[in-house]
Structure 1
């Protein structure tokens, strides 16, 4: 019996010491998660009461709408008025451009008729000059024959010398008349060629008629009007773009739909239907169960033996299910760890206790929206020792450092 009792006591001692030798155990763990604050994007009135606290809501679920009926649309109205005035100016310029184009076409038609008539008249004069050249050639031949005949008769004394001189003068006049007719024909030919190219030679001091000058003036005015019309079209496009942007901005400021950004559970509601809100007001708190973690306390003596990435085992208090986890961070006892977005209060540090944060692997608690994903529940956490080499020697050195 004594041996049995001794063996039991020894086994109990071994069981009590064995967990300390093989790892670190904490009984102060708390399941924790973060919540998201959904704030008002615009000012206005809430249209409906959000779901009750504890309601599971899927991603994209519409919580409510915010309507603002007091938004000022002065800028949009001014832009629309400017757009209407610009369109009226454009219509006036287009009408003016149409009138100038009609005038230009009429002047071009009149110029073409005048040019054709001038060409026809010069062609007729060329025909007349050609006939005159033919007549002048005949007169020259006749005068030349008469001069030869009278010169022969004058040498024999049959014809007086004055007659010979008159015949010579008539021959010279016929030659000159022929030369003049040829020069006039050449002038008319050059004038006809210029007319066909659009240059009116001999029309006073101008090389073009009045209709063509007027056509050039109309062309300049038409170009100016078309340039102004292009500027007005560009202005219309700019105003339409500004109106679209202003209308979109007013629409965004007049109505906003508040949706759930991820699958979660309502943690807190601060508004009801008919509540007036301003930009930035907290409307709802949504619990984020996607990344559950546990905050535990471990004696700071073991700070160097627990490193981020170490494996851990988590067991809910009162449950036998083991949930695997991974150490995320290790902080000292005096580290400031206050976080405003945590759903549960981390365990309060007592003395020299390092604060360890352990991330939980995917588990059914992440979908347990009815129980707020078990947030705030106490857990037991065990972390295996990273190495056992020189553990005894390190303990002796620590003890010697403390004594000395």
Structure 2
């Protein structure tokens, strides 16, 4: 033990520093502080005083007024939801895009609609349309044939009328000749009658002259009857009826008979055409019903209000389910403040109360009034902001502040000021 203590004492003596030999250096005299250090100290005091004054100015409302526990800027929010299962068609507007009320946003259609009934109906309708077009063309061709046959008939009618007119004129000449022969026979009979009185003519000659008068009168009657028949034929020809010379019956030409056959054929074609038009109307009605069914399976989503797309979960071609939130639209032109107060301030914070507010980081004082006091446990889904979607803690309540003027001075990161923190106060 004695040896160990001697070793420890010897090691401790080695750690004691030795004093340097020689004379000590005399201490330097203190140098005076420069003048600029006093000005720097003064500037620091002034800056500290300014910071302290600003803090007092910011904390004054909390001491002198009834202030909110927490507040933020909110804006009206509209949630666009999908109500049927399907696939998004079209390109939905991106976040930050400005939309107007009623603007088309996107379409949602059934993933795989059955288009076979629609195609089948369209095929039947197209087939009937082609049949109708073919029948119309056939009827038009028959109309052209009828026009040609009618022209042939008119040409033949004009020829028959001209022939009947010629025969009538010839018969009139025959009548005139028969009248002349009758007059000649009568004159000869009169001459023989006067000669027989003077015994200059025999009875045979007188009788022959009498018979000649009777024959001439008969020829004249026959010629007149023939002329009457020819006049009837001429009148019938002008009306399109041709009386035959043999039996006096109607002689209807082949062209006009063919026109009658074409009329009968066209009547059947028009009846068939009416049936096809009826079927086409039925198919058009079925086609419209099927199209309405397909349109109902395709939902067109429009903007419920004007504003800015705040959030979106959509992209072209993605599948959506009923009840899912597609996007949210906010109206940044109608900002308000949602503030949380303690229950002790409920007597002062009531609808109609005048308040003042200031956004954190801004020196602008905004005036407003309380428009709504919410139930402490209520959550407002129609507003967007930080506290708007959280339940109020116990012992506090929520109030909505309508601003008399909209706040300004937004930063580039939040140009709409939605969700910005604020302080709301009113007099005690």
TM norm structure 1: 0.65
Contact 1:126/1:188 (CA < 8 Å) preserved in 2? yes
For residue 177 of structure 1, the aligned residue among 219, 222, 228 is 219
**In the TM superposition, what whole-angstrom CA distance separates every residue of 1:165-204 from its partner, at most 9, and x where no partner exists?**
4423422332342243234324423432332232334585
Work out whether residues 360 and 422 of structure 2, in 8 Å CA contact, stay in contact via their aligned partners in 1. Answer: yes
CA contact under 8 A between 2:91 and 2:316: conserved in structure 1? yes
CA deviation map 1:121-159 (0-9, x unaligned): 323322331231132122112201111111112223343
The correspondence of residues 3-402 of structure 1 with structure 2, limited to 5 A, is 29-40=71-82, 43-44=85-86, 57-59=96-98, 70-161=112-203, 163-201=205-243, 205-206=249-250, 208-209=252-253, 211-222=255-266, 225=269, 264=308, 266-267=310-311, 269=313, 276-296=319-339, 307=352, 312-317=355-360, 319-325=362-368, 329-330=371-372, 338-343=379-384, 344-345=388-389, 348=392, 355-359=399-403, 361-364=405-408, 370=414, 373-375=417-419, 377-382=421-426
Q: Hey, what's the Cα distance between the residues in 2 that align with 1:261 and 1:317?
A: 30
C-alpha distance after superposition, 1:67-122 (max 9, x if no partner): 86523221331133123312331343144224423432343244234323322332
Separation of aligned partners in 2, 1:262 and 1:367 = 23
The Cα of 1:361 is off from its aligned counterpart by: 2.8
Moved more, 276-285 or 363-372: 363-372
> What CA deviation, in whole Å up to 9, does each residue of 1:310-353 have, x standing for no partner?
865322356432124355x345x779965333331478498897
Deviations 1:255-282 (A, max 9, x none): 989999865364474x689853235422
Superposed CA offset, 1:230-286 (max 9, x none): 8868987997898799789869968989999865364474x6898532354223334
Larger radius of gyration: 2
Deviation at 1:373, TM superposition (A): 2.7
Report which stretch shifted further, 291-300 or 245-254: 245-254
Indicate if the aligned counterparts of 1:313 and 1:382 stay in contact, CA closer than 8 A: yes
Q: Displacement, 1:383?
A: 8.4
Change (3 A) 1:64 1:315: same
**Distance in 2, Cα, partners of 1:106 & 1:62:** 61
In structure 2, the CA distance between the partners of 1:207 and 1:345, relative to structure 1 (3 Å rule), is same
Measure, in 1, the Cα distance between the counterparts of 2:282 and 2:420.
Answer: 58
For 1:134, what is the secondary structure of its paired residue?
helix
Q: Aligned equivalents of 2:150 and 2:290: distance in 1?
A: 49
Secondary structure at the residue paired with 1:289?
coil
User: Does the aligned pair in 1 maintain the 2:377–2:391 contact within 8 Å?
Assistant: no
Q: Output the CA distance in 2 between the equivalents of 1:235 and 1:324.
A: 72
**Gap regions ≥5 residues in structure 1:** 1-14, 385-404
